[in-house]
Amino acid sequence: MSVELKYRRILLKLSGEALGPQGYGIDAETVRRIAGEVRRIHELGVEVAMVIGGGNMWRGADAAATGIDRGTADYVGMLATVMNSLVMQDAMEKQGISTRVQTAIEMPPVAEPFIRRRAVRHLEKGRVVILAAGSGNPFFTTDTAAALRSVELNTQVLLKATKVDGIYDDDPMRNPHAQKFDELSYMQALNMGLKVMDSTALSLCKDNNMPIIVFNLRQPGALEAIMRGEQCGTLVRADVKEPA
């Protein structure tokens, strides 16, 4: 029996910290679990592109604060995202999912260069595409790279996986009374100065009417629930009314 899906092509954005149990390094079991969640929606017929950050190994902005040139620090961060992407590719293919890594910085021995039309073709053929090395430019985050690739590949939604189950008006880890939003407009998210996604990424999604869903990938089945159209996490989109 065919499954009713709300989304048929998505971009999933993972932080590098999601791959390590304490936010650094890579935990093989965690990577396998994430690959398993992606496999479940892939088997439903969803076309999946992914962007993975590199913060579990290197953060360009933090490194720059120590005196390293910011541009150099950001390029090192791009290489960290490639390492994470190759590890995820290995985990996916061991679960039977044909996967391609494309990088914004050319490195032919390990991955394809990012070519938009080729990436789209991979998606159409049922391959998961992992987009590494950010946008290929320093001073831009992997959130912005995810927004850019999401627009380029004409996905239906950008999914931002976090440690919490949506966007709150305060850090729910520190404030038990923090209020969760089911929906927000782009302007509300920008004006609130939320740290879930940087303003450049939010603005790019706003300008191209790309909906964003912020959710907790650690919640088993959350990704599949979103594909089925169930309420999960926080949806950021246009035309959301201001709260009364």
- Show binding-site residues: 13-16, 54-55, 59, 74, 135-142, 162, 168, 171
Residue 173 burial class via C-beta count within 10 angstroms: exposed 0-12, middle 13-18, buried 19 and up = exposed
Residue 242's DSSP bridge partners are none
Please report, in range form, the residues annotated as the binding site for ATP: 13-16, 55, 59, 162, 168, 171
Q: What SS3 string covers the chain?
A: CCCCCCCCEEEEEECHHHHCCCCCCCCHHHHHHHHHHHHHHHCCCCEEEEEECCCCCCCHHHHHCCCCCHHHHHHHHHHHHHHHHHHHHHHHHHCCCCEEEEECCCCCCCCEECCHHHHHHHHHCCCEEEEECCCCCCCCCHHHHHHHHHHHCCCCEEEEEECCCCEECCCCCCCCCCCEECEEEHHHHHHCCCCCCCHHHHHHHHHCCCCEEEEECCCCCHHHHHHCCCCCCEEEECCCCCCC
Please report, in range form, the residues annotated as the binding site for UMP: 54, 74, 135-142
Measured distance CA(77)–CA(121) in Å, rounded: 28
